[in-house]
Amino acid sequence: MKKFSVILATLLLSLFTFSAHSEEGKGANMELFPAPKADASKAARPAKPELTEPSYRALIQGDTVTLKWKEVPAANAYHLQLAIDPNFKWLVVNEELLKANSFDVKGLEKAKHYFWRVAALKTENVPTFMKGWYSLSTFETP
């Protein structure tokens, strides 16, 4: 059985070597599995958004608020999260593909501390670099 494996491996290697030598000089790609060509533009994270409203530690009267941030030029969507804890375990809002740079939140509870954050998305990027860094802020309802 070992002899057969050695003969088969030698035969395959000589076939591959022969075909590679016969194609030399013709400009053909001789790699068995050529590496994909990387596109550097798809590996640049979008910038961090600048949060504008409400201001940091603002007191919000009533049960509604409009969260706003400046548009990020390279982004084509945003990921918004609103939580009642600083670790974002208890989410109130989790919008992953927002197209606008503002979001209306209704149904805020009285005497709560809210934490919110926004990250810019460039959805055509490779998955590792699709989301930029989060910007974080907080507000309270008296």
| pLDDT reading at 22 higher than 50 | no
Question: What is the reported pLDDT for 36?
Answer: 74
pLDDT tens digit sequence for 78-99:
999 999 999 999 999 999 999 9
Cα dist from 139 to 51, 60, 84, 86, 136, whole Å? 12, 7, 10, 11, 11
Q: 64 with 130, same domain?
A: yes
Q: 23 with 83, same domain?
A: no
Q: 74 with 135, same domain?
A: yes
Question: What is the reported pLDDT for 21?
Answer: 47
d(CA 97, CA 128): 16
Q: 65 with 126, same domain?
A: yes
Q: 70 with 28, same domain?
A: no
Determine if the pTM surpasses 0.75. no
pLDDT tens digit sequence for 32-56:
887 777 777 777 889 999 999 999 9
Q: Is 41 inside a domain boundary? A: no
Q: Is 39 inside a domain boundary? A: no
Split into its structural domains, the chain has a count of 2
Q: 78 with 19, same domain?
A: no
Closest CA to 120 of 49, 40, 44: 49
Query: Domain limits at 1?
Result: 1-34
Closest CA to 138 of 34, 51, 56, 30: 56
| pLDDT reading at 29 higher than 90 | no
Q: 84 with 117, same domain?
A: yes
| pLDDT reading at 27 higher than 60 | no
d(CA 88, CA 79): 13
Question: What is the reported pLDDT for 86?
Answer: 97
Average model confidence (pLDDT) for the chain?
Answer: 86
Q: 74 with 124, same domain?
A: yes
pLDDT above 90: percentage of residues in the chain: 63
| pLDDT reading at 20 higher than 60 | no
d(CA 85, CA 22): 67
Q: 64 with 26, same domain?
A: no
Q: 55 with 28, same domain?
A: no
